Amino acid sequence: MLEQIENRRSIRKYLDKKIEKEKVVQILESARLAPSGSNTQPWTFIIVESEETKEKLTIADHNQKWMMTASVFIVCVADIRCRISEDISVRLDENSPEPELKLIIRDTAIAIEHILLEAEHLGLATCWTAWFEQDAVRPILNIPEDKYVCGIITLGYGDEAPNQRPRKKIDEIVRYEKW
């Protein structure tokens, strides 16, 4: 697994090649199996293949035109209702104060990383994008206001092979027993 972690890159150029459905299902299965606090599993994934919808999402995501080269978008949504069971009104955005929002973002981020690594394992490429406002993405996919979009993952067969970016040495990031 370390080899796939080392080789994974954020890819921004994809081949014009359709992804096999069974690979998409396997990638989603890897996300489904991700751990979450108190086993809340707050995630929902919206698969987008429509060129029209992908274009709207691309525009909402800071008009990053390269996104359109990806075959599939996976929109990763966190649901706060797994942590707030009362029937109270909740509207989530980038400035929401609910402490539960941090928990569902954390848990959904774990599932997203599973997506990225499983895609790499299957010979596919990804890029986790999140340069958008909630209010720009939600209406495109009819996402309710009490859900939080954690990212749009572009998925496809990569058409570039960027070099690994510099990483800190292990002794710069690890401490033992205390700070």
Residue 178 has a pLDDT of 97
**Structural domain harbouring 81:** 2-163
Q: pLDDT tens digit string along 76-104?
A: 999 999 999 778 889 999 999 999 999 99
Tokens of 176: 């033992």
What average pLDDT is seen over the chain? 96
Residue 47 inside a domain? The answer is yes
DSSP codes, 97-138: --HHHHHHHHHHHHHHHHHHHHHHHTT-EEEEE--S-HHHHH
Residue 178 inside a domain? The answer is no
Residue 85 has a pLDDT of 78
What CA–CA distance (Å, rounded) separates 110 from 68?
Answer: 25
Q: pLDDT tens digit string along 13-56?
A: 999 999 999 999 999 999 999 999 999 999 999 999 999 999 99
Residue 26 inside a domain? The answer is yes
Residue 170 inside a domain? The answer is no
pLDDT at 69 over 90: yes
What is the rounded average pLDDT of the residues 54-68? 98
DSSP E strand boundaries for the chain: 43-48, 72-79, 125-129, 147-156
Residue 171 inside a domain? The answer is no
Residue 32 inside a domain? The answer is yes
Place of tokens 């096999």: 20
Q: On the CB side of 15, how many CA atoms lie within 13 Å of its CA? A: 11
**CATH code, 72:** 3.40.109.10
- Split into its structural domains, the chain has a count of 1
What is the C-alpha radius of gyration for the chain, rounded to an integer number of angstroms?
A: 17
| Phi and psi, residue 10, nearest 5° | -85, 110
Which residue in 116, 102, 93 sits closest to 42, CA to CA?
102
Residue 145 inside a domain? The answer is yes
Residue 136 inside a domain? The answer is yes
